[in-house]
Amino acid sequence: MRWRRPGRCTDRGGHGLSDVAQLVAGLEEGDRRSIARLLTLVEDGTPESLRDLVAALHPRTGRARTVGITGSPGVGKSTLTNAVVAELRSRDRTVGVIAVDPSSPFTGGALLGDRVRMQGHHADPGVFIRSMAARGHLGGLSFATPQAALVLDAAGFDVVIIETVGVGQSEVEVAQTADTTVVALAPGMGDSIQAAKAGILEVADLFVVNKADHSGAGKLEAELRGMVEMGHETGAVDGWWPPILRTVAVRGEGIPELVDALEQHHAHLESSGALVERQRHRAAHTVREIALERVRGSFASIGGADDPLIDSLATQVAARDLDPYAAADALLVALDPEVG
Ligand SMILES: Nc1nc2c(ncn2[C@@H]2O[C@H](COP(=O)(O)OP(=O)(O)OP(=O)(O)O)[C@@H](O)[C@H]2O)c(=O)[nH]1
Ligand SMILES: [Mg+2]
């Protein structure tokens, strides 16, 4: 199929190229308001502004280490993130955080909770924390989150942490936008069963049994160890055996060990070549998403149920004047110049 070069003269919804360029310049000077506005563009921008933004940012990224922290609601992801941020700061690393709100943006509950728990870093210029709503993004959350991480990477943060609730496939995808994925569990929450269901065992580079001050932490750890061993019968994946760490995030216990393990995993990714491989895998995913989104957009404009072309093709197919494959061909030919 022939793809036309996308047009550039579309409505940019008030965010022109110069706006983006100005914000990117601000970003490079470490201006926090520019970072915040770029993240808002990722959340609310038009497809065109997002395109300009990604084009401007992409060459400036690739430096940050990205860490995904996922797990069921309430296991202590935000508390863990907060403690990891503090530990990283004590090691002189700057940190950007994207906390993906599991609930609707209108309830405010989780957002407020995250803000309260993370406010300790508010005055620190080496930390930037942003909550993102899980709904209403162009191309979905699994598309918006990596773009937001791109903004923080370009802003020069050494480490970018993405906190997501691991309950479904889209969250697993979000976790996979990170170089290192931490799966957090807590005793007494039926987590191990849920972990197996959601397939997060496969994406975990590291397990954290948080709330180790609660009874049942040992049992959960043993259960998890059994599952890891069963899941990796053939041996370690890419030479890495996911460690299981115990933490009491509210007291900062086990956090230095967790950060050590993050560093070890990153070193392993670099030395084994898996880092480059993961980044290529993610790039392929992003390119596919963008292309599919564009095709979907074109279908929305010409292939809708009440589209005259569809209408006429349907009539011909129903009248046996045309077979459905030939009709689809005709539709795709009409679609082609629309793509972009
Ligand atoms: N006892 C104990 N409580 C903890 C620990 N870590 C977190 N908590 C508490 O558990 C509750 C939930 O913690 P959060 O950090 O908000 O959990 P979360 O996983 O981010 O929750 P969501 O973002 O809503 O999914 C809070 O009341 C924390 O204070 C821990 O190690 N031990
Ligand atoms: Mg949270």
DSSP string, 19-64: HHHHHHHHHHTT-HHHHHHHHHHHHH--HHHHHHHHHHHGGG-S-S
The mean per-residue pLDDT over the stretch 89-101 comes to 91
250 pocket-lining for ligand 1 (C-beta < 6 Å): yes
Ligand 1 binding pocket includes 73 (Cβ within 6 Å): yes
113 C-beta closer than 6 A to ligand 1: yes
Over 90: is that where the pLDDT of 255 sits? yes
Distance CA 63, CA 279 (A): 12
Query: Which pLDDT does position 155 carry in this prediction?
Result: 96
pLDDT band with cut points at 50, 70 and 90 for residue 72: confident
Average confidence (pLDDT) over 97-101:
84
Instruction: For ligand 1, atom 21, name the residue with the nearest CA.
Output: 74
Share of the chain above pLDDT 70, in %: 74
93-97, 134-138, 328-332: the lowest-pLDDT one: 134-138
Atom of ligand 1 nearest to the CA of 81: 15
CB of 102 within 6 A of ligand 1: the answer is yes
pLDDT of residue 13: 46
Residue 165 beta carbon below 6 angstroms from any ligand 1 atom: yes
The residue whose CA is least distant from atom 28 of ligand 1 is 76
Q: CA torsion sign, 254 to 260 to 261 to 262? A: positive
User: What's the pLDDT score for residue 194?
Assistant: 59
Q: Is 295 or 259 the better-scoring residue by pLDDT?
A: 259
Q: Specify the residue with its C-alpha closest to ligand 1, atom 10.
A: 76
pTM comes to 0.82
Nearest partner of 165 among 69, 67, 43, 258, judged by Cα: 69
Specify the pLDDT at position 172: 65
134-156 in b/e form (b: 16+ CB < 10 A) is beebbbbbbbbbbbbbbbbbbbe
Give distance in angstroms: CA of 112 to centre of ligand 2.
10
Distance, CA of 302 to CA of 231 (rounded, Å): 46
Please count the other Cβ atoms lying within 10 Å of the Cβ belonging to residue 235.
7
User: Is any atom of ligand 1 closer than 6 Å to the C-beta of 126?
Assistant: no
Identify the H or E element spanning 11. none
Cα–Cα distance, 68 to 177 (Å, whole number) = 8
In this predicted structure, the answer to whether residue 133 has a pLDDT above a threshold of 60 is yes
